[in-house]
Chains A and B, each alone.
Chain A
Amino acid sequence: MDYAVWIILFPLIGVIVNGLIARKWPEKVVGWFASLMIMASFVVALMLTIQLAGMDPHHRAMEVKFFSWISVGQLNLDFAFLIDPLSAIMMLVVTGISSLIHIYSIGYMHGDSRFRVFFTYLNLFVFFMLILVLGNSYPIMFIGWEGVGLCSYLLIGFWWEDMQKATAGMKAFVVNRIGDFGMLVAMFLIFKHLGSLTFSEVYPAAAELWGHHVDAAPVIAITLMLLLGAAGKSAQFPLYVWLPDAMAGPTPVSALIHAATMVTAGVYMIARSSMLYMLAPTSMTVVALVGAFTAIFAATIGIKQFDIKKVLAYSTVSQLGYMVMATGVAAFGAGVFHLMTHAFFKALLFLGSGAVIHTMHGALHHVDDHHTDPQDIRNMGGLRKKIPVTYWTFLLATLAIAGIPGFSGFFSKDEILASTFAHGSYLPYALGLIAAVITAFYMFRLVYLTFHGDYKGPEGSEEGIHESPKVMTVPLMILAFLSIVGGYVGLPVVFGEHAHVLKGWLEPVFEPAYEAVHYHPHHPSIGMEWMLIATSVVAALAGIFVARNMYITKGLVAKSDKEQTGFGKVLWKKYYVDEIYAAGVIKPLIDGSKVLWQKFDAAFIDSILVIGTAKTVRWIGGGLRKVQTGVVGNYAVMLVVGVILVLAALLLR
Chain B
Amino acid sequence: MFDNLIAGMHVGRVLPEILVVVVAFAAILIDIIMPRGRSTRGVQVVSVLGLLMVIAASFFQRGDTGQAFSGMVMIDNYTTFFRILLSAITLLIIGVSERYIEITRIRIAEYYLMLLFALFGMLLMTMGQDLLIIFLGIETMSVSLYALVGMTRHKHASNEGALKYFLLGAFTTGFFLYGIALVFGVTGSTNIVDITVFLKSAGSETPIIAWAGAGLIMIAFAFKAALVPFHWWSPDAYEGAPTTITAFMSTAPKAAAFAAFLRVFYVAFGSMSDGWTMVLWWIAVVSMTFGNLLALRQDSVKRMLAFSSITHAGYLVVAFLTFGQQGASAILFYLVVYGIMNIGAFLVAIAVNRNEDDDKGYHFDDYKGLVYRRPGMAIAMLVFMLSLAGIPPTAGFFGKYYIFSSAVSAGFVGLAVIGVLNSAVSVYYYLRLIVNMFLTERDEETEGRIFWTGEMAQVVLICVILVLLIGLFPDTLLNAARASVAALL
* Secondary structure dominating the interface of A: helix
Chain B: residues with Cβ within 8 Å of the partner, total of 74
B215 touches A650 (CB 8 A): yes
With a cutoff of 8 Å between Cβ atoms, the chain A residues found around residue B475 in the complex are: 69-72
Q: Which of B463-487 contact A (CB under 8 A)?
A: 473-475, 478-479, 482
Stretch from B154-162, B251-259, B312-320 that touches the partner: B154-162
> Is B215 a contact partner of A642 (Cβ separation < 8 A)?
no
B111 contacts chain A at the CB level, 8 A cutoff = no
Interchain CB contact under 8 A, A632 and B401: no
Is B427 a contact of A174 with CB atoms below 8 Å?
yes
User: How many angstroms between the C-alpha atoms of A627 and B431 in the bound complex?
Assistant: 39
In the complex, are the beta carbons of A651 and B427 less than 8 A apart? no
Is the CB of A641 closer than 8 A to any CB of chain B? yes
A17 to B339, CA, bound (A): 32
| B101 CB contacts on chain A under 8 angstroms | none
A579: interface (CB < 8 Å):
no
**A177 x B424 contact (CB < 8 A):** yes
Q: Is B84 an interface residue (CB 8 A)?
A: no
- A181: chain B residues within 8 A (beta carbon): 417, 420-421, 424
Which positions 186-224 of chain A face chain B at CB distance < 8 Å? Answer: 187-189, 191-192
- Expressed in whole angstroms, the minimum distance between the Cβ of B441 and any Cβ of chain A is 6
Tell which of A275-283, A458-466, A539-547, A610-618 binds the partner: A610-618
In the bound complex, what is the Cα–Cα distance between A638 and B172 (angstroms)? 13
Least CB separation from B477: chain A residue: A72
Interchain nearest-CB distance for A403 vs B (Å): 38
Task: Check B233–A635 contact: CB distance below 8 A.
Answer: yes
Tell me whether B435 and A191 are in contact (CB under 8 A).
no
Interface presence of B408 (CB below 8 A): yes
Of all chain B residues, which has the CB nearest A157? Answer: B439
* Contacting pair A650 B212 (CB below 8 A): yes
On chain A, the residues within 8 Å of B241 by CB distance are none
Contact at B416–A188, with CB atoms within 8 Å? yes
B-contact 0/1 string along A578-609, CB 8 Å cutoff: 00000000000000111011001100110011
B459–chain A nearest beta-carbon distance, Å:
22
Is A146's beta carbon under 8 Å from chain B? yes
The one of A142, A173, A192, A650 in contact with B214, judged by C-beta atoms closer than 8 angstroms, is: A650
**Smallest beta-carbon distance A350→chain B, Å:** 22
Is the CB–CB distance between B439 and A160 below 8 Å?
Answer: yes
* B156, A613: Cβ atoms closer than 8 Å: yes
A158: chain B residues at CB < 8 Å are 439
Q: Are B438 and A154 in contact (CB under 8 A)?
A: yes
- Let me know if A643 is at the binding interface, CB within 8 A: yes
Q: With A150-B391, A638-B229, A653-B275 in contact, is A597–B294 under 8 Å at CB?
A: yes
Q: Are A612 and B233 in contact (CB under 8 A)?
A: no
Instruction: Answer yes or no: A285 CB below 8 A from chain B CBs.
Output: no
B374 CB to nearest chain A CB (Å): 15
**Bound complex: CA of A617 vs CA of B163, how far in Å?**
13
- Are B276 and A650 in touch, CB under 8 angstroms? yes
If A142-B392, A166-B439, A184-B420 touch, whether A636 touches B171 (CB-CB below 8 Å) is: yes
Whether B405 pairs with A177 at a CB distance below 8 angstroms is no
A180 adjacent to chain B (CB < 8 Å): yes
B168 and A642 contacting across the interface, CB-CB below 8 Å: no
Are A160 and B294 in contact, CB atoms less than 8 angstroms apart? no
Structural contact, A185 and B420, CB atoms closer than 8 A: yes
Q: Write out the residue numbers on chain A whose beta carbons fall within 8 Å of the beta carbon of B219.
A: 642-643, 646
Are B409 and A157 interface neighbours, CB within 8 A? no
Chain B residues with CB under 8 A of A173: 427, 431
Question: In the complex the two chains form, what is the Cα distance from A160 to B439 in whole Å?
Answer: 6
CB-based contact A609/B431 at 8 Å: no
- A180's partner among B212, B232, B424, B428 (CB-CB below 8 A) is B424
Q: In the complex, A524 Cα to B475 Cα: how many Å?
A: 52
Question: Using an 8 Å CB-CB cutoff, how does the interface string of A160-172 with B read, 1 for contact, 0 for none?
Answer: 1000011001100
Q: Is B187 interfacial (CB-CB < 8 Å)?
A: no
Q: Does B29 contact A (CB under 8 A)?
A: no
A49 interface residue (CB < 8 Å to B)? no
Is A70 a contact partner of B392 (Cβ separation < 8 A)?
no
Contacts of B164 in A (CB 8 A): 608, 628, 632, 635
Chain A residue at minimal CB-CB distance from B168: A635
Q: Which residues of B contact A570 (CB under 8 A)?
A: none
A143 located at the interface, meaning its Cβ lies under 8 Å from any Cβ of chain B in the complex: yes
A128 to chain B minimum Cβ distance, whole angstroms, is 10
Please give, as numbers and ranges, the residues of chain B lying within 8 Å of A627 by CB-CB distance.
163
For the complex formed, measure the closest distance between the CB of B227 and the CB atoms of chain A, giving whole angstroms.
9
Instruction: Please encode chain B, from 443 to 474, with 1 for each CB lying within 8 Å of some chain A CB and 0 for all others.
Output: 00000000000000000000000000000011
Inter-chain contacts of A150 with B (CB < 8 A): 386, 391
Q: Confirm or deny: B1 has a beta carbon within 8 angstroms of a beta carbon on chain A.
A: no
The contact of B212 among A192, A645, A647, by CB within 8 Å, is A647
User: Which A residues lie within 8 Å of B214 (CB)?
Assistant: 650
Residue of A nearest to B158 (CB): A616
B229: contacting residue among A139, A142, A594, A641, CB under 8 A: A641
Q: How far is the CA of A173 from the CA of B407 in the complex (A)?
A: 26
Q: How far is the CA of A592 from the CA of B432 in the complex (A)?
A: 19
Residue B51 interfacial (CB < 8 Å):
no
Q: Is the CB of B408 within 8 A of A192?
A: yes
The 12 sampled A-B contact pairs (Cβ below 8 Å) are A71-B479, A72-B479, A143-B392, A147-B392, A188-B413, A613-B156, A616-B163, A619-B163, A639-B172, A642-B229, A649-B282, A650-B214
- Residue positions of B touching A, CB distance < 8 A: 156-157, 159-160, 163-164, 167-168, 171-172, 175, 208, 211-212, 214-216, 218-219, 222-223, 229-230, 232-233, 235-236, 239, 274-276, 278-279, 282-283, 290, 293-294, 296-297, 326, 359, 386, 391-393, 397, 401, 404-405, 407-409, 413, 416-417, 420-421, 424, 427-428, 431-432, 435, 438-441, 473-475, 478-479, 482
Closest 4 CB pairs of A and B: A642-B229, A188-B408, A177-B424, A157-B439
Q: Given contacts A146-B392, A191-B405, list 18 more A-B pairs with CB under 8 A.
A: A69-B475, A70-B473, A139-B392, A150-B386, A160-B439, A174-B424, A177-B427, A185-B417, A188-B408, A188-B409, A597-B293, A604-B232, A605-B236, A635-B233, A639-B168, A641-B229, A650-B211, A651-B212
Interface residues of chain A, those whose CB is within 8 Å of chain B, are 69-73, 139, 142-143, 146-147, 150, 154, 157-158, 160, 165-166, 169-170, 173-174, 177-178, 180-181, 184-185, 187-189, 191-192, 592-594, 596-597, 600-601, 604-605, 608-609, 612-613, 616-617, 619-620, 627-628, 632, 635-636, 638-639, 641-643, 645-647, 649-651, 653
